[in-house]
Structure 1
Amino acid sequence: MGTHLDRARVHFGRDTSGFLEGGRYALIHTRSLEFDELRPYVPGDDVRDIDWKATARSGHTLIKRFVSEKHHKILVVADAGRNLAAVTPSGERKRDVAAHLIGAMGLITLQRSDEIGMVFGDARGCVDIRLRRGETHLESMLHRFHDHGRGRPGPSAVVTQLDWVAHHYRHPMLVLVVSDEPDVDDRLGAVLRPLTATHDVIWGLVIDQPAVTSVSDDRYGYDLGSGRRVPGGAVLGSTVVEAYRRAEKERRRSLSEFLHSCGVPHARLGGSGDIRAALTTMTGVLARAR
């Protein structure tokens, strides 16, 4: 297995059973060669499935029933912009956590022969990787995502990638969005609501390490968006620190309410150790929806 998938497996584990099974987003149904049972023929059944020997013995027309396989079309929509260079509460780069989350979804698809593709980029535009199957495809997909971040990415704007998907992907899919916590504005609402009418959307939110940790913290931070240094709590004082904490709590509450109103299951990840629980939560919500 490739380097990037191996890294994802370290955090996600080897057991992929139970994920993406029985949900409403099982979009393509094929029949396996695994025999299940015999049952009476009913009009509309494929006559090629009739078991003539069993029919002759029983006096009733019986057909072979096979195990149904459900395959998915999965599209990852990922922010690969400047915001992903920041650090998570676990101390990891947000870009690394995002890559491990994407890789974990890829590991799930390998066991199921699902198709997976990705649209990633920044405010300047998108890279569109079409849906395919297999380990080589997944490793290449993760490699391209990783290389984009090693260059000089533009500002983050995941709405750019969502807009691309809304205009270029018309058939229903399971869409996994991977980004930091975007601002809720009219443009995001205008793109996301029509998108959820066509696709099943789940969203993994890779969160930032707090800009200010405590009033005793005298370390300066760095704002990737503006390029400015951020004073520590010891400089700002307790009043400003408390106001910052209230603002952050309100911002997250507002984002969660917005995603709930759009019918988008979501989970926040403070590090790669949260990946398995996050995917369990998000896919579980969809599976229970039907």
Structure 2
Amino acid sequence: MGKYLDAAKAYVTRDAAGLLAGGRYALVHTRSMEFDELRPYVPGDDVRDIDWKASARSGHTLIKQFVSEKHHKILIVADTGRNTAAPTPTGESKSEVAAHIIGAVGLMTLPRSDEIGMVAGDRRGCVDIRLRRGETHVERILHRYVAQTSTNPGASDIVTQLEWVARHYRHPLLIVIVSDEPDISERLRAVLAPLTARHDVLWAMVTDMPAIGTEATGVGYDVADGRTLLGADVMGERVVAAYRRSEEERRRELSELLTAQRIPHARIASSRGIMSALVAMTGVYARAG
């Protein structure tokens, strides 16, 4: 494997491929039919599936039962803007955690030969990597993501990428959004409706280190726009408490919006939390099928 897939592999369990079982059949492309077993014919079965030789030998009408090989088409939609340079609560960079999430999803596709692509970018526009299969292709996606986040990124705006997908991807997909926690806006509300009408959507949100907290001291800055952030020792307990209440309310409203749009979502604070988040999100996705 390439270095980026190798890095992601440390956070993925062996049975990860099974997480994509289930879900809406509209997402699935049937590549072939594979013989499974013979069983007794029941009214309503297709007579073309009757195995006449086996039926003659057994004295009972037997029918061939097939299982289909189903392959998902998965599109990663990722923010590569300046927000990805911020740290998570555990001190990892958000871009590193996001790369591991993308790698984890890529690893899930390999045993089943699922197709995977990526739309990534910032407020200025998008890079569109079309759906293909294979380890080399997944490594290429990761390489492009890392390059985008580390080379003169613009302002983050995941809605720009979502609007691109809504305009250009018409066939049903499983979309996995990888970004931070977006601000609720009319643009976000407007784009989610057509996306969820056509596609299944999961949202992996990489969380920020709190801007202020009881242990924060001194002066920092916001990676998005360079504004100064004062520590808790400067702001005082009342301001810190008000900030925490505001953050809780913002997160509650965002969760309500995504739930209303039937988008399974998870907040991921570190690479070690990736697998449990994927299990939770894909479990909701599979039960919706």
SS in structure 2 of the partner of residue 128 of structure 1: strand
Match of 2:249 in 1: 250
Instruction: Say whether the 8 Å CA contact 1:41–1:62 is kept in structure 2.
Output: no
Q: Within 5 Å, which residues of 2 pair with 1:87-236? A: 87-214=87-214, 217-236=216-235
CA offset digits 1:101-159 (Å, max 9, x no partner):
01111111101111111100000000111111110100001101111111001100000
- Of 11-20 and 100-109, more deviation after overlay is shown by 11-20
Match of 2:16 in 1: 16
SS in structure 2 of the partner of residue 111 of structure 1: coil
CA offset digits 1:81-100 (Å, max 9, x no partner):
11011000111110111110
CA distance in 2, matches of 1:202, 1:174: 8
TM-score (normalizing by structure 1): 0.93
Instruction: Say whether the 8 Å CA contact 1:32–1:69 is kept in structure 2.
Output: yes
Instruction: Say whether the 8 Å CA contact 1:120–1:145 is kept in structure 2.
Output: yes
Q: 1:146 to 1:164 in 2, by over 3 A?
A: same
SS in structure 1 of the partner of residue 19 of structure 2: coil
CA distance in 2, matches of 1:97, 1:30: 33
Q: Which runs of 5+ in 1 are unaligned?
A: none
Instruction: Say whether the 8 Å CA contact 1:16–1:111 is kept in structure 2.
Output: no
Match of 1:45 in 2: 46
Q: Does 1:5 align with 2:5?
A: yes
Instruction: Say whether the 8 Å CA contact 1:175–1:202 is kept in structure 2.
Output: yes
How much does 1:60 deviate?
4.8
Moved over 4 A (4+): 41-44
Instruction: Say whether the 8 Å CA contact 1:41–1:50 is kept in structure 2.
Output: no
Instruction: Say whether the 8 Å CA contact 2:40–2:63 is kept in structure 1.
Output: yes
Amino acid in the other structure paired with 1:287: A
Q: 1:245 to 1:33 in 2, by over 3 A?
A: same
Q: 1:213 to 1:107 in 2, by over 3 A?
A: same
Amino acid in the other structure paired with 1:258: L
Instruction: Say whether the 8 Å CA contact 1:51–1:62 is kept in structure 2.
Output: yes
Amino acid in the other structure paired with 2:247: E
How much does 1:43 deviate?
6.9
Match of 2:54 in 1: 54
Instruction: Say whether the 8 Å CA contact 1:31–1:66 is kept in structure 2.
Output: no
Instruction: Tell me the number of residue pairs that the alignment of Structure 1 and Structure 2 aligns.
Output: 288
Instruction: Say whether the 8 Å CA contact 1:219–1:231 is kept in structure 2.
Output: yes
CA distance in 1, matches of 2:128, 2:37: 40
CA offset digits 1:31-59 (Å, max 9, x no partner):
44353333428677383x54342022134
TM-score (normalizing by structure 2): 0.94
Amino acid in the other structure paired with 1:117: G
CA distance in 1, matches of 2:44, 2:160: 49
Q: CA RMSD in A?
A: 1.8
Instruction: Say whether the 8 Å CA contact 2:17–2:112 is kept in structure 1.
Output: no
CA offset digits 1:161-215 (Å, max 9, x no partner):
000000111111111011001100100000011110000111001010011121x
Q: Which runs of 5+ in 2 are unaligned?
A: none
Q: 1:46 to 1:220 in 2, by over 3 A?
A: farther
Instruction: Say whether the 8 Å CA contact 2:232–2:240 is kept in structure 1.
Output: yes
**What fraction of aligned residue pairs are identical, expressed as a percent?**
58
Amino acid in the other structure paired with 1:289: A
CA distance in 2, matches of 1:204, 1:241: 27
CA distance in 2, matches of 1:39, 1:68: 20
CA distance in 1, matches of 2:204, 2:193: 17
